[in-house]
Structure 1
Amino acid sequence: MTAMGSGRPLGALGRALALAGAAALLSAAGASPARADAAGEAAASAMLDDVAGHEARLRVFLQAMPKGGDLHNHLGGSVYAEDFLEAAAAQGLCADAEIGRIVPPPCPREREVAVMAVEDPFAYARLVDAISTRGFQKGIGPALVSGHSQFFSSFAKFGPAYRGEEARWLAEAYASAGRNNLVYLELMYNPGGLARTMAAGPAEAIDAAGLAASYAREIAAVTPLLDETMAEVTRLDAEARKRLRCGTAAADPGCGVTVRYLYSAMRGMAPALAWRSMIAGFALAHRDPRFVGVNIVMPEDDPVALRDYDLHMAMFRFLEAKYPEVKVTMHAGELALGLVPPRALEDHIAKAVASGARRIGHGVDIAYETAAPETLARMAREGIGVEINLTSNAVILGVEGGTHPIQLYRAMGVPVMLSTDDEGVLRSDMTNEHVRAVMQQGLRYPDLKQMARDSLEYAFAPGPSLWRDRGMTAFVPACAAGLASAACRAFLAGSEKAAVQARLEINFDRFERSLDRFRGVQGAKGT
């Protein structure tokens, strides 16, 4: 058996994964319609229009609205500062003398995180602000530090509290996805042992001409680590699900979210280290069906990342030829005028697309690219989607409202999907991204529904789509008579992608049939 659309053998683990999501779907399908009910969708659309100008009412409606997948979510950045500080207190960690980061002991008693939490709430609040963007977003010190610097510097400040607690952070990520009514999550996650080994090697010089020889050496070092890494992922996922009480009557909603992982290559490191991290990601995704693709992360405006951008694209092209079944999404165009010189805005997205990216993360600077019309046309033609991160772009880049390119992408027919990026550091969640989309971008219910569907259509989950065509006008013939038909049930059992898509359609149907619960929230035409 192979993962449909991937060309690689699934094996026992892959078969179990492919069928797990379908099992939950098939037990819940009931008498679901062959296609969404037009009257229910119209009623939901009218209700959102009524509450669109009132953020609190809108939040209640959007919290309950079904959502598809979060395709751009960094595990480390998904954790809220308070959770890191709770872990830090339990580990006996401290704040530094400036109350600006978490550090190992020893320290004076008043700087122990556990003591600060109960005896000095103002110092504790300073620490929350320091290891997130909360203070910046509330206007504390914006003249002294940019959102960009505050955001990216946060990760080093909470590092000691992150290590050793990965199962807890996985559980938090799953729970947030369930709380926000998602059915699928692609989580950027680098298992610790493999990531540490790849970062510990020598930083010898490397260029595009030397990739083949270097790969032969590096893959020999990576391959023996893969079985241990897969076992680590299995163990941590099991611990995370135990935390969420999965399989019990008190299971957290996060237990029902289908979770897959993306491995992150590191663009802000010396070329050999970036290359080593990329090889690790491709090799792991080739072996483990839970890792559905590879990304590249770290600040795109970092001097090393800017210097080596073309080299990184060459690395991707080399590895894509070696591992054609491994999907690629790239952070590209996470730049803004003023953050970097104009020449740095000219072509990053175009180069990522030309180098095999099947999705683009952020894509904020597209309007500044020299070949923007051609790149947008290609993305629309080839179905290369954009992971839109509204809160992240506003806080880190200062790009929002009409400056944000989401409407440009949509106007050009490029698939777009909302995502969270680093919801913990950014003090956001998926529902808040939808609130921003309505209030700041003027999107309405049909737009949000289409983006939810697109998030699953362009997810890297294996298998054929539930939809007959990219226009999503009808289900595939096997499901034309309804999701509960015998033919459709058999089809869904063989495709993880179609199974999560069917689950979303069932959720939309249920939501649109239960709008009476929002009548009080709706008020008198949203006034």
Structure 2
Amino acid sequence: MATIVATVTITTGMAAAPARGMAAGDAAARVEAYLDGIRDEPGRLREFTLDLPKGADIHAHLSGSVPTRGLLGSAMRDGLCVDTTSFVASAPPCHAGQRPARDAATDGSFGDDVVRAWSMQGFTPGAESGHDHFFATFGKFGAAAAHKGEMLAVVASRAAAENEFAVEAMLSRQSGAIGELAKKVGYDPDPARLRDRLLAGGAMAAIVKAARADADADLKEMRATLGCGKNGADPGCELPVRFVLQVTRTSAPEVVFAQMLLAFELAEADERYAGLNLVAPEDDKVALRDYRLHMRMLGYLRGLYSKAHISLHAGELAPGIAPAGDLRFHIGEAVRTGKAERIGHGVDIAGEDGSAGLLAEMAGKHVLVEIALTSNCQILKVCGDRHPFAAYRKAGVPVTLVTDDAGIEHTDLSGEYERAITSYGLRYADVKTMARAALDHGFLQGRGLWRAPDDYVPVPECAGTPLGGATPPAACKALLKASPKARAEWNQEAAFTRFEDRYDG
């Protein structure tokens, strides 16, 4: 496979694209024909989706995104212990019922057992459901996920190899400190008073400062691991990285609000912190009890802060997993009250009150749905025709494909595109639109390359010139220099040009 590298510089902010000997429409038509000819050839389809310029995996929890064997390697290197029954990793010394993680180096059976416990590899539903197994993995390997910079390096390297142009990583920051502050302050049902109390005295400002220092350290470690700035540096060095702060929806209300507030404060102070998302099982009893409260909290904070983006796990539910009543309002509440710009999963849309109207509203507001086909099939048993993927597309709701999560699910973004093409008969024009949508709705800052959301007509500054070309007009060049989002999209268009030249028949 020929790896496409996104080259971004502060001077030009663009990647050069070769001259084309045919109209763009002709090339795209030939790629359509090529795809039709390889749909039933897994090897060639895999090569095609690997080479496809995919934008970004915009729904990825950092600790769940790295290969499970890599986490096990970290556990071995750090001298961690693994419980032989629960397979929970913990700090040494090892006690009765535990084994050193390093035993996996000499006992392959033990290593395989750990990998199965920490991921969906080889999982067969039985007494434990796919839903429960997936969510339990985070608690099992948590102690092995301490090296965020190294994990970021793995994710960025793979993203570049898969022809992505940005990294969005969901992670938690300063959880202990924010929990202590929330406990000290206590809960107040008035969000304005609660915010004032959390901000008083400088404790929140200190946590923001510490979280920014965490980002500095992690990115420094990532760049060192990738050899950035040296000859032979990994292509992942060139990708912009943005953090989406995780808010644990199963926590006490004051902790949830404090975590939300931290995310909004961080986004105002540091462009690397681009947004927030609520994580943990949506069907947890606390998450269900407080769902509407959480949406009101977000709506309140959205009214005070302008920079943080909001993407929400909403509708990651199915009959039998949550009470029937909760399948009727979660997505609508996320869009209308929680001000979500993107929805993760959205599997239960058909059961929402006024589903048709909600779909139209999401289309009109350009609320994108992050479609996780493998995850939804494994966790919720919602696969194939049971999945609302086609319904969202028919309603004009923007969608893109995501992994959630590549490490745990043993998939990758290219595999999600393969699955979508084979399961839903997608055309090249369809996958190109979804790949563009990942950056269009991504949380990189700045004006985008497109005139309006989801129309993929270039802004006036860049109209009339080959997108991704080496010599954009001055106004377009200025936009690319000023805007991380426009640069990433320009690089993707350059890659589409190369891709279509390669696969035009």
- TM-score, length basis structure 1: 0.88
Partner of 1:414: 397
Partner of 1:215: 195
Cα shift at 1:398? 0.8
| Superposition pairs of residues 229-308 of structure 1, within 5 angstroms | 229-308=211-290
Amino acid at match of 1:210: D
For 2:94 and 2:9, the matched residues in 1 are separated by: 52
Cα shift at 1:190? 2.3
Deviation track 1:44-72 (CA, whole Å, cap 9, x = no partner) reads 22112211123232111111111112211
Choose 303-312 or 236-245, whichever is displaced more: 236-245
Aligned length: 489
Deviation track 1:178-200 (CA, whole Å, cap 9, x = no partner) reads 12110012211223xx2221123
**Does the CA-based 8 Å contact 1:99-1:126 persist in structure 2?**
no
**Does the CA-based 8 Å contact 1:21-1:496 persist in structure 2?**
no
For 1:316 and 1:174, the matched residues in 2 are separated by: 30
Partner of 1:11: none
For 2:184 and 2:211, the matched residues in 1 are separated by: 23
**Does the CA-based 8 Å contact 2:8-2:14 persist in structure 1?**
no
Amino acid at match of 2:445: P
Partner of 1:17: none
Cα shift at 1:468? 2.4
Amino acid at match of 1:197: A
Amino acid at match of 1:75: L
Give the counterpart of 1:174 among 156, 176, 180: 156
Partner of 1:357: 340
Give the counterpart of 1:433 among 390, 397, 416: 416
For 2:310 and 2:90, the matched residues in 1 are separated by: 36
* Gap change, CA 1:224 and 1:111, over 3 Å in 2: closer
Partner of 2:127: 144
For 1:36 and 1:347, the matched residues in 2 are separated by: 47
For 1:291 and 1:340, the matched residues in 2 are separated by: 32
State yes or no: 1:29 paired with 2:11: no
**Does the CA-based 8 Å contact 2:12-2:477 persist in structure 1?**
no
**Does the CA-based 8 Å contact 1:266-1:278 persist in structure 2?**
no
For 1:491 and 1:47, the matched residues in 2 are separated by: 35
Deviation track 1:246-292 (CA, whole Å, cap 9, x = no partner) reads 22231212122222111111111111111111111111111111111
* Gap change, CA 1:308 and 1:471, over 3 Å in 2: closer
Partner of 2:429: 446
For 2:129 and 2:249, the matched residues in 1 are separated by: 22
Partner of 2:119: 132
Partner of 2:82: 95
For 2:329 and 2:285, the matched residues in 1 are separated by: 16
Cα shift at 1:425? 1.0
Give the counterpart of 1:328 among 307, 310, 334: 310
**Does the CA-based 8 Å contact 2:266-2:273 persist in structure 1?**
yes
State yes or no: 1:159 paired with 2:139: no
State yes or no: 1:224 paired with 2:211: no
State yes or no: 1:202 paired with 2:183: yes
Partner of 2:3: none
Cα shift at 1:513? 1.0
RMSD: 2.2
Cα shift at 1:451? 0.3
* Gap change, CA 1:325 and 1:106, over 3 Å in 2: closer
For 2:333 and 2:459, the matched residues in 1 are separated by: 34
* Gap change, CA 1:388 and 1:92, over 3 Å in 2: same
* Gap change, CA 1:318 and 1:473, over 3 Å in 2: closer
**Does the CA-based 8 Å contact 2:81-2:94 persist in structure 1?**
yes
Cα shift at 1:73? 0.9
Cα shift at 1:108? 7.4
Secondary structure at 2:334 match in 1: helix
Amino acid at match of 1:389: A
**Does the CA-based 8 Å contact 1:21-1:258 persist in structure 2?**
no
**Does the CA-based 8 Å contact 1:300-1:332 persist in structure 2?**
yes
* Gap change, CA 1:471 and 1:357, over 3 Å in 2: closer
**Which consecutive segments of 4 or more residues in structure 1 shift more than 6 A?**
none
For 2:340 and 2:261, the matched residues in 1 are separated by: 16
Percent of pairs identical after alignment? Answer: 39
Cα shift at 1:348? 0.5
Q: Which runs of 5 or more residues in structure 2 are unaligned?
A: 1-6
